[in-house]
Amino acid sequence: MKLNSYQKTAITTVLATIFLILVGGLVRAAGAGLGCPDWPKCFGSWIPPTSVTELPAGFDASQFNAVKTWIEYINRLVGVVIGLLITATFVLSFRYRKSKPSVFYSSVAAFILVLFQGWLGGQVVKSELSHWMITIHMILALIIMMALLYAAFKATQEFVKVEISDSTKKKMYAAGIVLLVLTVVQLVLGTQVREEIDIIKEAAFVPERSTWLESVGSIFLIHRSFSWIILLSGLYLSWIVYKDKISGLISKLSYSNLALIFLQILIGVGLEYLDMPRVLQVVHLVGIALMVCIQFLLLLVLRLRAIKS
């Protein structure tokens, strides 16, 4: 399989966007969102200070934490790299403007969205990490990832060969849509749980870490129970694959999705019983981003074959 420059760049950009979600999760888990209190510079400089003695005039020394500052600064640098990759994807997509307009327009959408995401990042800092703005920032990152994934897939779809019956295809496509919707709902529920935890840990009196989830209330119980619905949906998809002896890309995507669902449940258990270790918070966020990615890709594959039938 020989890829052209657009295909290579688009695939690289999708992977880099997933990495950015990982870095963003690290920033939030480390509480480094305000590691740089200004935007777009960091403590008034393009390269942040490494010690309190290097702080420019006008900044409160109590705001400075070298580790958090550099975590947030690296997050911004990664964001710039992603922005450049998306720009390159947009420019290279002009070759498809007539032959495959869906590739071009989805690349344009990703480019416009990343510009808005950059502006929104500054607003998040100015709002001093408003919880709902952080959630929007994260969801927008997923939308950008899906737009890029769509563009990359449409540009490489000639390499995809899948053979399944029409009836199986229809069942899997319907089940896949339900699963993706459920996963997005679960993601939103998870962000609400996270917002409640942020409120708890930023209160004047911070309770023991082991009691945080108990203090969240019913939204956590809904989030936890909802995972079983997603598990059943994932099992149903994999059962269709197993029963109809489907192989190839569809099989790999279905089983990978199921494995991620099990992993997410195990991580959720770890978060609850291990007093929410930061590393598991980051892995949990990246895990659901990968689930969305795999489920969306599965739908694209099934849709492609339905069109060609």
DSSP secondary structure, 205-217, as one string: S---GGGHHHHH-
Question: Which of these three, 159, 181, 213, is where a domain ends?
Answer: 159
The pLDDT assigned to 87 comes to: 95
Instruction: Assess whether 195 and 138 both reside in one domain.
Output: no
Does one domain contain both 134 and 107? yes
Q: Over range 57-79, report the average pLDDT.
A: 87
Q: Are residues 14 and 148 in the same domain?
A: yes
Residue 245 CB-density burial (10 A; 0-12 exposed, 13-18 middle, 19+ buried): exposed
Half-sphere exposure of 31 (CA within 13 A, CB side): 10
Alpha carbon distance 116, 200 (integer Å) = 30
Predicted TM-score of the model (pTM): 0.86
Has residue 306 got a pLDDT over 60?
A: no
> What is the mean pLDDT of the segment spanning 90-97?
94
- Pick the more confident residue, 183 or 35: 183
36, 88, 290 from 44: Cα distances, Å: 9, 29, 36
Residue 255, domain extent:
164-309
Query: How many domains does the chain fold into?
Result: 2
Higher-pLDDT residue of 134, 15: 15
- The pLDDT of residue 308 is above 50: no
Give the whole-angstrom CA distance, residue 129 versus residue 228. 32
Does residue 76 share a domain with residue 34? yes
Cα 121 to chain centroid, rounded: 15
Judged against a pLDDT cut of 90, whether residue 305 lies above it is answered with no
Q: How far apart are CA 85 and CA 65, in angstroms?
A: 30
pLDDT at 54: 85
Distance CA 195, CA 294 (A): 26
- Please, what is the average pLDDT of the chain? 87
- Are residues 142 and 5 both part of a single domain? yes
Both 127 and 57 in a single domain?
Answer: yes
Q: What pLDDT band is residue 111 in, cutting at 50, 70 and 90?
A: very high
Q: Are 209 and 276 in contact (CB under 8 A)?
A: yes
Q: Is the pLDDT of residue 303 over 60?
A: yes
d(CA 226, CA 197): 19
Bond from prior residue into 40 cis (ω within 30 degrees of 0) = yes
Strand locations in the chain (E): none
Residues 203-221, mean pLDDT to the nearest whole number: 79
Is residue 23 predicted with pLDDT exceeding 90?
no
Could you tell me if 219 and 195 are in contact, meaning their C-beta atoms sit under 8 angstroms apart?
Answer: no
Q: Which of 159, 183, 217 is the last residue of a domain?
A: 159
Counting runs of H as helices and runs of E as strands, what totals does the chain give?
9, 0
Residue 45's SS3 state is strand
Name the token pair of 249. Answer: 């890309």
One domain for residues 216 and 293: yes
Residue 129 — pLDDT band, cuts 50, 70, 90?
low
CA distance 102 to 100: 5
- 212 shares its domain with 188: yes
**b/e per residue 280-307 (b: at least 16 CB within 10 A):** bbbbbbbbbbbbbbbbbbbbbbbebbee
Q: Are residues 42 and 170 in the same domain?
A: no
Rounded to an integer, the average pLDDT of 256-273 is: 93
Q: Say how far apart CA 171 and CA 186 lie, in whole Å.
A: 22
Residues 149 and 214 occupy one common structural domain: no
In the listed set 159, 190, 221, which residue is the last one of a domain according to the structure?
Answer: 159
Give the count of beta carbons closer than 10 Å to the beta carbon of residue 52.
12
Query: CA 229 to CA 233: how far, in whole Å?
Result: 6
Q: Are both 42 and 128 inside the same structural domain?
A: yes
Looking at the fold, whether 171 and 132 belong to one and the same domain comes out as: no
Tell me what pLDDT residue 49 has: 87
Cα distance between residue 58 and residue 55, in whole Å: 9
State the average pLDDT over residues 151-160: 88
Kindly indicate the confidence band of residue 52, based on its pLDDT and cuts at 50, 70 and 90. Answer: confident
Hunting for tokens 């997933």 — which residue is that?
18
pLDDT for 1 equals 65
The residue ranking higher by pLDDT, 212 or 183, is: 183
pLDDT score of 127: 78
